[in-house]
Amino acid sequence: MNDMIEVRNIKKQFGERVVIEGVTAMIRPGQCNLIIGASGSGKTVLMKCLVGLLQPDEGEVIYDGKNFTKMRPEEKTEVRKEIGMLFQGSALFDSQTVEQNVMFPLNMFTKDSYKNKMNRVNEVLDKVNLKDTNKKFPAELSGGMKKRVGIARAIVLNPKYLFCDEPNSGLDPQTSLLIDRLIKDITTEYKITTVVNTHDMNSVMEIGNYILFLHQGKKEWEGNNKQIIFNKNQKLNEFIFASEFLSDAKDMRMLEETGKIANDRNMDELTEEDAPTLIPPPIGDENKE
């Protein structure tokens, strides 16, 4: 199948420390694929193995049926031209403006006229809702804007694959949601195969078409955002329901599922009988007796 990435039995260790082992997965083409797990579970190392920034000690990464891990450097370069990546810290070039950052891949790999390249830059900046920032330097942008410039730069060459390493780290919940929706929109509109590395449960619920859960470097669970709430995996549940609020949300979904409450009822309508611990106190009333 086109644009498919297959991960076969990947193992990577640094010295004596095995970071990921025996990870096998099938990345769904044209969908948002999420790698989730606690900090130190090996998400970033797995993603770096996928894009070739790290060479796995064992196993294979297959792009469109071609073994990426065994390719020669020049063959890897060709595959990488079809990959766009958003880094955790955005990785924008400090000495270049937003416009120059986004135009950089076009300058490197196309022979288009300046006007055409400029049009493409404006098109992608428009796509990520960044207007009038062309001449600004990365230091003048907020965290969310930097991420959006990073996304614009990643998609400017119309890649087949988009990799996002912790796209929500350091962002407020509202901006995180915007970034999630942007990633989802881009995936759908450009039919890109997207792989997102995150531990943000909002992202999981918002965009997780396929979810791979890593625990201590091993694949513990895989599924989608509908299945994850009702999963029976203890380690996954410990990870996703670590916060009391999410645990409450699970209770609510359970109640919905079992028909105890209607799907369209909101939290305020729930009674103590429905779920005793479900309704958090109103904001500002936390300290009231």
Partner 1 sequence: MYWKEFIHQCSEIGIGSLGIVVIISVFMGAVSTVQTAYQLVSPLIPKSTIAQVVRDTVILEFAPTLICIVLAGVVGSKIASELGNMRVSEQIDALEIMGINTKTYLVLPKILAALLVIPMLVIIAAGMGIWGGRLAATAANILSGATYDKGLLEGFMPYNVKFAMYKAYSFAFIISSIPAFFGYYVQGGSLEIGRASTKAVVTSCIFVLFADYLLAALLLPK
1 touches partner 1 (CB under 8 A)? no
Nearer to partner 1, 48 or 215 (CB): 48
Nearer to partner 1, 51 or 249 (CB): 51
51 touches partner 1 (CB under 8 A)? yes
78 touches partner 1 (CB under 8 A)? yes
Nearer to partner 1, 75 or 269 (CB): 75
Nearer to partner 1, 109 or 245 (CB): 109
**Member of 9, 67, 107, 116 binding partner 1 (CB under 8 A):** 107
167 touches partner 1 (CB under 8 A)? no
Binding-site residue total for partner 1 (CB under 8 A)? 24
3-state secondary structure the chain: CCCCEEEEEEEEEECCEEEEEEEEEEECCCCEEEEECCCCCCHHHHHHHHHCCCCCCEEEEEECCEEHHHCCHHHHHHHHCCEEEECCCCCCCCCCCHHHHHHHHHHHHCCCCHHHHHHHHHHHHHHCCCCCCCCCCHHHCCHHHHHHHHHHHHHCCCCCEEEEECCCCCCCHHHHHHHHHHHHHHHHHHCCEEEEEECCHHHHHHHCCEEEEEECCEEEEEECCCCCCCCCCHHHHHHHCCCHHHHHHHHHHHHHHCCCCCCCCCHHHCCCCCCCCCCCCCCCCCCCC
* Subset of residues 114 to 153 that bind partner 1, contact rule: CB under 8 A: none
CB of 232 to partner 1, least distance (A): 37
105 touches partner 1 (CB under 8 A)? yes
**Member of 9, 67, 77, 142 binding partner 1 (CB under 8 A):** 77
Interface contacts to partner 1, rule CB under 8 A: 51-53, 76-78, 80-81, 83-85, 87-89, 91-94, 104-105, 107-109, 163
